[in-house]
Amino acid sequence: MTEGDLRRHDRTDVSAPVQLVWQDRTGTDRFENGRVLNVSASGMRVEVSEQIEKQTYVTVQCAALGLHGRASVRSCTRKGMKFILGLEFSAGLQWKPKSD
């Protein structure tokens, strides 16, 4: 970790499709296809076309990274026409890089 970086785990840059499922404020099921930008043992950064509120729990499915489970939206920032989500894994979900 670098000075001033409070992250517990190093990030790995990747580009992989991801599917997110969550319920909005009204209880309606929502679905979004996005792209993983980077991942660590405890979370990931994802680009999506729709804003998702902070503290929303989403179900994450990313076959390319072997991930399927729950995560909490920790940040949502507009970048052009897209939104960048910071997701923190929950309920025991963890990513482990494949060993070569």
Q: Supply the pTM of this predicted model.
A: 0.86
- CA-nearest of 91, 81, 9 to 45 is 9
Query: CB burial class (10 A; 0-12, 13-18, 19+) of residue 80?
Result: exposed
CA dihedral 38, 42, 47, 52 (to 10 degrees): -170
Q: How far apart are CA 19 and CA 17, in angstroms?
A: 7
For the chain, list the domains and their CATH numbers: 12-89 (2.40.10.220)
pLDDT (tens digit, 0 to 9) for every residue of the chain, 100 residues total?
444 455 566 788 999 999 999 999 899 999 999 999 999 999 999 999 999 999 999 999 999 999 999 999 999 999 999 999 999 999 888 888 776 5
